[in-house]
């Protein structure tokens, strides 16, 4: 039987990245994917003729530019394109418009609050400072703070130096920031409810925290630490949908001789004498390899595809208790025309970009309360984008699709399991809310894909539908991700690694987890590293 | 003097035939000038407009570009004597890219020649060229040179959606136009006026140039913007053009070369060989201007060679010197244009480098600023032989869908 050098379980974008870098180093790799399509949560599918949805992730900012460049992803068809203005809808009449131009944005803020318009400069500078620091860790392996190996000490020193460069006062601020709530953080800058709500929106996306929960300030940072061509905090679109990222990564992998097999779900990781030796597929076929890499989340990897008896003591429980609470829903809505929003001028740069149906911090917290009680929010927070207004390839000319991301939606309902009827009711709640701000919106709908955590888990195997493959709180970040002691991509079974978003630096379409894992694997195999350095160090 | 008279009239720039529409869209009032015309640097956001070229479609005003009609039985011979390329085989309704030189073989300008009839050509170029054309016609009996620059409205229309939009505009068969083809269409039915379309451009992407009588300029604009509305049509200016052309590896006057007739120092202008335009010089054709000097230049080898560089990191190497060693002691050339390429995600540049150093290491000493502080770094450069951006759609006929 053929033995591969490496099997990667899961063709999520991180699995593909990992495989591409291993193949680039000359390894004979195969990626096995349970679905008949690749990409995991970075995927585009045509569910309604002529419309190409980015079914899960829909905007791009975290993708490491250095990897894009190094793997020639543009040559493999990936082009990242911008979308402009975002409008925040509050509980009152007048929306908050975020223009693409600094002066225009300042004037708009001043119309809402001269104080906040001024404060925004300090807010942006502070966030940029925090972001610059965290960005420098993205393409690095977190050091083990308990280890005395030279590499760990060196990495600890690197981190310490970056911290030190912030200055003494900022070190305190930074530590506070990691454990603060988004609301507390924002209170220090802003007075206006709508401005606060709009600024808080990145803090709730994907998390099972509310704006008043400690730790939510970091989530905010996680969503603004990316960049588009060096503009930190900016978001763009992948031309042709997020699946273009996965397709390009697959192209890079194949260029280096790697293989991908779809419809090949893994039933079990085969372990012999404490070493991973291959996988058994759902159809019974066994594939053997020198190393096995899991792109699945930590909970799924250790509680579903490994025999409990093959694990050293303690790991199973750690995995079982890994915090991976689903909290998000997503609607992909095909529209026969461009929706109009109340209070938004007919300005083509701002009436078709992104929308935040945020309300106020209070509204957002009430939406969270529903989640805690096992219900979907009756007045949910929605962040939407209309990619078709910027990318001519994802809907027929003149037609559009809207990606609507929804907080909060629980993976388990208090009143029993999810059913298709409940899913549709959830969808209804969301479009009812949009209709409030866009009368006539519902008449434009020609097709809709409604996804609750239940569908997200069933289709792409994100446990509980958690979009980050595990909550992004300090106890599960950096050297604690996924578990303390296992943050360097090596898992407790020999020759087994993890490369998905459950590892540092966490969720989002960044390719960083996959690349970092590849670097560690190559180190263990004593092969030259193929993973480039990040290009953000002289920011 | 009546008070309705514009006392600044003599200082004002000319307005292009598309100006009323472009002015309305220039939300940032970002104007510069080109050949006496008021000309947009950008309209809304330069980078967004650049992406229209790469992602959807955009228009670029080429009214200020110089256009000369050259007609008569000797037109072809005269042009063939002036430019370095052989245009004797140029077919009717085809365009070709050319350059022309002084007797010393130094490049005056580059441009395109359109063959519109057996004895009818159009030459387009960035800077006024009438005097040189007249000089070049000396000794040719039957040639008429007419400056059509102000009497032609021309709009470049570029981007992956451009062909789709032209189809929607009703240009039947436009998808059959090959690169450098010219097609003619009746404009808006029976007006008797025609719209000329060439599959040309300065972006390295799929694109066309539209040529029409000035009185129809705004009608063309309106019809095109109507057809393009669902395809993200948007005007772009100088900044976006400059980005797109650099990715395509095209040269720009005052960046890569100094026009020879305007250059003071004899070493500050360039030969086509230095600019990598050797393929435009045809020594097999009958005598042409600069031939002897160019032969010498070819045999001796140029002093510098225009080179495409991919530079590590993301600090743009604008104005950087190049060295053969990391310590930056042996200078070997200089950067002419540099940018971060948003589409390729690479730090790219064009540079003039002494050919003998092209095989070895190349390092750029880059200066950049962060919050008023100057920093510098030395970055390794890799020579690229192909354009940074050259999508298949730019050459495919018919062009693929969006
Ligand atoms: C609704 C939603 C919206 C999001 N929005 C954004 C956004 O706009 N921007 C952004 O940056 N991020 C966003 N995210 C987060 C981001 O998409 C994910 O964090 C990221 O794509 C995860 O990538 P991954 O490769 O680590 O894992 P995954 O994409 O989860 O890949 C895991 C792969 O493993 C496969 N698999 C599972 N079980 C098996 C098995 N037993 N055998 C074989 N294969 C298996 C799965 O099918 C999948 O292909 C969003 C996520 C969701 C769900």
Name the pLDDT band for B28 (thresholds 50, 70, 90). very high
Name the pLDDT band for B189 (thresholds 50, 70, 90). low
B159 and B144: one domain? Answer: no
Assess contact for B184 and B195: CB atoms under 8 A: yes
B373 touches chain A (CB under 8 A): no
Instruction: Provide CB contacts within 8 A for B290, sequence distance 6+.
Output: B84, B100, B101, B102, B103, B104, B105, B106
B177 and B41: one domain? Answer: yes
- The alpha carbon dihedral of B208, B209, B210, B211 has a sign of negative
Name the pLDDT band for B194 (thresholds 50, 70, 90). very high
In a domain, B43, yes or no: yes
Q: How far apart are CA A153 and CA A512, in angstroms?
A: 22
**Which of A67, A295, A423, A510 to mutate for ligand 1's pocket (most ligand atoms within 8 Å of CB)?**
A295
In a domain, B292, yes or no: no
Q: What number is the average pLDDT over the span B117-132? A: 98
User: pLDDT per residue over B322-342, tens digit each?
Assistant: 999 999 999 999 999 999 999
B70 and B16: one domain? Answer: no
> In this structure, which residue's CA is closest to atom 53 in ligand 1?
A467
CB contact (8 A) between residue A535 and residue B55: no
Q: Alpha helices of A25-113 — where are they, by DSSP H?
A: 65-70, 102-112
pLDDT at B289 over 90: yes
Closest CA to A506 of A534, A535, A473, A539: A473
Helix (H) or strand (E) holding B195: strand B194-198
Report the length, in residues, of chain B: 402
Q: Could you tell me the distance, in angstroms and rounded to a whole number, from the CA of residue A41 to the centre of ligand 1?
A: 3
Closest CA to A379 of A395, A391, A387, A368: A368
Which chain A positions have a beta carbon within 8 Å of B343's beta carbon?
74, 79
- At which of B205, B222, B248 does a domain end? B248
**pLDDT the model gives residue A316:** 96
Q: Which residues of A touch B (CB under 8 A)?
A: 65, 68-69, 73-74, 79-82, 84, 100-101, 228-230, 239, 349, 389-393, 397-398, 535, 538-539
Instruction: State chain B's mean pLDDT as an integer.
Output: 96
B145 and B103: one domain? Answer: yes
User: pLDDT per residue over B38-86, tens digit each?
Assistant: 999 999 999 999 999 999 999 999 999 999 999 999 999 999 999 999 9
CB contact (8 A) between residue A538 and residue B54: no
B170 and B244: one domain? Answer: yes
Each residue's pLDDT, cut to its tens digit, for chain A (539 residues) gives: 799 999 999 999 999 999 999 999 999 999 999 999 999 999 999 999 999 999 999 999 999 999 999 999 999 999 999 999 899 999 888 999 999 999 999 999 999 999 999 999 999 999 999 999 999 999 999 999 999 999 999 999 999 999 888 888 888 888 888 889 999 999 999 999 999 999 999 999 999 999 999 999 999 999 999 999 999 999 999 999 999 999 999 999 999 999 999 999 999 999 999 999 999 999 999 999 999 999 999 999 999 999 999 999 999 999 999 999 999 999 999 999 999 999 999 999 999 999 999 999 999 999 999 999 999 999 999 999 999 999 999 999 999 999 999 999 999 999 999 999 999 999 999 999 999 999 999 999 999 999 999 999 999 999 999 999 999 999 999 999 999 999 999 999 999 999 999 999 999 999 999 999 999 999 999 999 999 999 999 88
Looking at residue B84, which CATH number applies to its domain? Answer: 3.30.70.1400
For A393, the closest of B314, B346, B402 (CB atoms) is: B402
The count of other CB atoms within 10 Å of the CB of residue A430 is 25
User: Cα Rg for chain B, rounded, in angstroms?
Assistant: 22
Closest CA to B272 of B235, B237, B244, B297: B297
Report the length, in residues, of chain A: 539
Q: Tell me the CB-side half-sphere exposure of residue A162, using CA atoms within 13 A.
A: 19
B367 touches chain A (CB under 8 A): no
Q: Could you tell me the distance, in angstroms and rounded to a whole number, from the CA of residue A462 to the centre of ligand 1?
A: 6
Provide the 8-state DSSP code for B248: H
Q: CA nearest A83 in B: which residue?
A: B48
Mutate to test the interface with A, among B226, B339, B345 (most CBs of A within 10 A): B345
The count of other CB atoms within 10 Å of the CB of residue B173 is 10
**Model-wide pTM > 0.95:** yes
Assess contact for A63 and A263: CB atoms under 8 A: no
Which chain B positions have a beta carbon within 8 Å of A239's beta carbon?
55
Q: How far apart are CA A38 and CA A247, in angstroms?
A: 8
- At which of B150, B185, B213 does a domain end? B150
Name the pLDDT band for B351 (thresholds 50, 70, 90). very high
CB contact (8 A) between residue A535 and residue B45: no
**pLDDT the model gives residue A165:** 86
Going through A408-495 in order, the beta strands assigned E by DSSP cover: 445-451
In a domain, B355, yes or no: yes
| Burial classification of residue A272, based on how many CB atoms lie within 10 Å of its CB (0-12 exposed, 13-18 middle, 19 or more buried) | exposed
For B231, the closest of A101, A397, A538 (CB atoms) is: A397
- The full set of domain ranges for chain A reads 3-79+240-322+470-538, 83-119+183-234+324-463
Closest CA to B303 of B326, B329, B269, B330: B269
Q: How far is CA A112 from the centre of its chain?
A: 31
Q: Could you tell me the distance, in angstroms and rounded to a whole number, from the CA of residue A40 to the centre of ligand 1?
A: 4
- The alpha carbon dihedral of B314, B319, B323, B327 has a sign of negative
B95 and B156: one domain? Answer: no
**pLDDT the model gives residue A166:** 84
B137 and B196: one domain? Answer: no
For A538, the closest of B51, B315, B344 (CB atoms) is: B315
- Please tell me the CATH code under which domain A3-79+240-322+470-538 is placed: 3.50.50.60
Q: Alpha helices of B208-326 — where are they, by DSSP H?
A: 217-228, 238-248, 291-300
**pLDDT the model gives residue B210:** 98
The parent domain of residue B123 ranges over 66-150
Which chain B positions have a beta carbon within 8 Å of A69's beta carbon?
344-346
Domain A83-119+183-234+324-463 has CATH 3.90.550: no
Name the pLDDT band for B190 (thresholds 50, 70, 90). low
**pLDDT the model gives residue A171:** 85
Helix (H) or strand (E) holding A114: helix A114-135
Residue B313 token pair: 């990191």
B146 touches chain A (CB under 8 A): no
**pLDDT the model gives residue A289:** 98
B113 and B186: one domain? Answer: no
CB contact (8 A) between residue B346 and residue A69: yes
The binding-site residues of ligand 1, defined as CB within 6 angstroms of any ligand atom, are A 9-15, 32-35, 40-42, 56-59, 62, 265-266, 295-296, 305, 328, 330, 405, 456, 460-462, 467-469, 500-501, 507-509, 513
The count of other CB atoms within 10 Å of the CB of residue B40 is 27
CB contact (8 A) between residue B314 and residue A65: yes
CB contact (8 A) between residue B48 and residue A84: yes
∠ CA B361-B363-B364, nearest 5°, is: 155
β-strand A80-82 against A86-89: which pairing, if any? unpaired
Residue with tokens 């530019």: A65
The total number of structural domains that make up chain B: 3
For B344, the closest of A74, A101, A393 (CB atoms) is: A74
Mutate to test the interface with B, among A46, A74, A399 (most CBs of B within 10 A): A74
In a domain, B370, yes or no: yes
Given the cut 0.90, state whether the ipTM is greater than it: yes
B120 touches chain A (CB under 8 A): no
In a domain, B290, yes or no: no
pLDDT at B102 over 70: yes
B72 and B46: one domain? Answer: no
Looking at residue B349, which CATH number applies to its domain? Answer: 2.40.30.110
B209 and B70: one domain? Answer: no
Instruction: Provide CB contacts within 8 A for B39, sequence distance 6+.
Output: B13, B16, B31, B32, B33, B61, B64, B237, B238
Going through B201-345 in order, the beta strands assigned E by DSSP cover: 207-212, 234-235, 305-311, 321-323, 331-341
In a domain, B342, yes or no: yes
Residue A26 token pair: 């000359």
Q: CA nearest A73 in B: which residue?
A: B344
B169 and B244: one domain? Answer: yes
- At which of B135, B150, B165 does a domain end? B150
**pLDDT the model gives residue B1:** 52
Provide the 8-state DSSP code for B177: P
B190 and B313: one domain? Answer: no
Q: How far apart are CA A350 and CA A341, in angstroms?
A: 10
Which chain A positions have a beta carbon within 8 Å of B56's beta carbon?
390, 392
Looking at residue B181, which CATH number applies to its domain? Answer: 3.30.1360.120
In a domain, B4, yes or no: no
User: pLDDT per residue over B202-236, tens digit each?
Assistant: 999 999 999 999 999 999 999 999 999 999 999 99
């Amino acid at each position: 039987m053929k033995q591969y050098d490496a099997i990667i379980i899961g063709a999520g974008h991180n699995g593909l990245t990992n495989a591409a870098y291993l193949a680039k180093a000359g390894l004979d790799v195969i990626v096995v994917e349970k679905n008949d399509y690749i990409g995991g949560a970075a995927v585009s599918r045509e569910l309604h003729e002529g419309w190409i949805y980015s079914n899960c992730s829909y905007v791009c900012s975290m993708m490491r530019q250095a990897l894009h460049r190094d793997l020639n992803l543009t040559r493999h068809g990936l082009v990242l394109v911008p979308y402009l203005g975002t409008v925040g809808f509050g509980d009152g009449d007048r929306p908050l418009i975020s223009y693409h131009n600094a002066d225009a944005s300042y004037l708009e803020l001043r119309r809402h609050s001269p104080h906040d318009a001024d404060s925004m400069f300090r807010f942006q500078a502070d966030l940029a400072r925090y972001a610059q620091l965290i960005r420098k860790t993205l393409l690095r392996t977190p050091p083990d703070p308990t280890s005395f190996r030279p590499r760990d000490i060196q990495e600890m020193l690197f981190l310490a130096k970056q911290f030190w460069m912030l200055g003494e006062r900022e070190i305190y601020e930074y530590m506070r920031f990691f454990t603060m709530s988004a609301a507390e953080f924002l209170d220090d800058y802003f007075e206006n409810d709508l401005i606060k709500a709009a600024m808080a929106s990145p803090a709730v996306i994907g998390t099972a925290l509310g704006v008043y929960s400690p730790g939510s300030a970091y989530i905010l940072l996680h969503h603004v630490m990316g960049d588009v061509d060096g503009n930190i905090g900016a978001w763009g679109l992948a031309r042709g949908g997020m699946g273009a990222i996965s397709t390009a990564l697959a192209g890079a992998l194949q260029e280096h001789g790697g293989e991908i097999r779809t419809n090949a779900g893994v039933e079990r990781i085969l372990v012999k004498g404490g070493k991973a030796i291959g996988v058994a597929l759902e159809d019974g076929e066994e594939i053997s390899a020198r190393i096995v890499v899991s792109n699945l989340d930590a909970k799924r990897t250790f509680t579903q595809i490994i025999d409990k008896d093959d694990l050293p003591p303690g790991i199973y429980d750690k995995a079982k208790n890994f915090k991976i609470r689903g909290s998000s829903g997503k609607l992909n809505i095909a529209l026969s025309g461009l929706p109009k929003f109340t209070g938004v001028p007919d300005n083509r740069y701002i009436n078709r970009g992104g929308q935040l149906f945020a309300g106020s911090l209070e509204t957002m917290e009430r939406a969270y309360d529903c989640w805690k009680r096992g219900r979907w929010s009756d007045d949910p927070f929605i962040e939407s984008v209309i990619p078709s207004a910027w990318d001519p390839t994802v809907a027929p000319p003149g037609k559009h699709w809207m990606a609507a991301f929804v907080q909060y939606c629980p993976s388990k309902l208090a009143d029993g399991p999810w059913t298709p009827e409940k899913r549709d009711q959830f969808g209804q709640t969301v479009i009812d809310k949009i209709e409030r701000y866009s009368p006539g919106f519902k008449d434009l709908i020609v097709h809709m894909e409604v996804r609750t955590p239940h569908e997200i888990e069933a289709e792409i195997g994100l446990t509980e539908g958690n979009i980050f493959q595990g909550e992004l709180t300090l106890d599960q970040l950096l050297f604690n991700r996924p578990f303390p002691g296992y943050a360097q991509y090596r898992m407790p079974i020999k020759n087994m690694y993890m490369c998905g978003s459950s590892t540092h630096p966490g969720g989002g379409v960044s390719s960083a987890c996959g690349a970092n894992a590849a670097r560690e694997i190559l180190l263990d195999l004593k092969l030259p590293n193929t993973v480039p350095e990040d290009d953000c160090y002289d920011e | 003097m009546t008070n309705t008279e514009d006392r600044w009239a003599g200082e004002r720039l000319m307005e292009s035939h598309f100006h009323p529409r472009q002015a309305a869209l220039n939300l940032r009032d970002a104007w510069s000038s080109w050949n006496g015309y008021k000309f947009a640097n950008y309209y809304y956001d330069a980078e967004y407009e650049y992406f229209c070229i790469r992602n959807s479609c955009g228009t670029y005003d080429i009214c200020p570009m110089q256009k000369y009609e050259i007609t008569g039985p000797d037109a072809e011979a005269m042009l063939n004597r002036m430019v370095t390329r052989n245009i004797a085989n140029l077919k009717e309704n085809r365009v070709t890219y050319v350059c022309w030189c002084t007797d010393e073989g130094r490049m005056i300008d580059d441009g395109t020649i359109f063959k519109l009839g057996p004895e009818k050509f159009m030459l387009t170029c960035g800077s006024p060229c009438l005097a040189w054309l007249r000089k070049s016609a000396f000794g040719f009996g039957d040639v008429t040179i007419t400056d059509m620059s102000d009497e032609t409205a021309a709009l470049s229309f570029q981007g992956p959606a451009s062909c789709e939009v032209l189809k929607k505009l009703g240009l039947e068969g436009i998808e059959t136009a090959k690169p450098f083809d010219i097609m003619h269409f009746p404009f808006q039915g029976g007006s008797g006026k025609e719209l000329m379309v060439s599959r040309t451009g300065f972006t390295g992407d799929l694109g066309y140039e539209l040529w029409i009588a000035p009185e129809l300029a705004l009608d063309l604009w309106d019809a095109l913007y109507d057809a393009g509305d669902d395809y993200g049509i948007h005007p772009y200016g100088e900044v976006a053009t400059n980005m797109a052309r650099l990715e395509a590896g095209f040269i720009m006057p005052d960046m890569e070369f100094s026009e020879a007739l305007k250059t003071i120092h004899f070493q500050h202008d360039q030969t086509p060989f230095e600019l990598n335009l050797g393929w435009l010089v045809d020594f097999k054709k009958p005598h042409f201007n600069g031939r002897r000097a160019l032969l010498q230049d070819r045999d001796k080898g140029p002093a510098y060679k225009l080179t495409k560089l991919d530079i590590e990191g993301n600090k743009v190497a604008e104005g950087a010197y190049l060295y053969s060693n990391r310590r930056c002691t042996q200078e070997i050339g200089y950067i002419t244009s540099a940018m971060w390429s948003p589409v390729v995600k690479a730090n790219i540049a064009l540079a003039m480098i002494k050919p003998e150093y092209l095989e070895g290491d190349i390092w750029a000493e880059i200066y950049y600023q962060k919050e008023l502080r100057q920093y510098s770094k030395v970055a390794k450069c890799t020579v690229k032989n192909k354009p940074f951006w050259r999508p298949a759609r730019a050459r495919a006929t018919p062009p693929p869908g969006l």
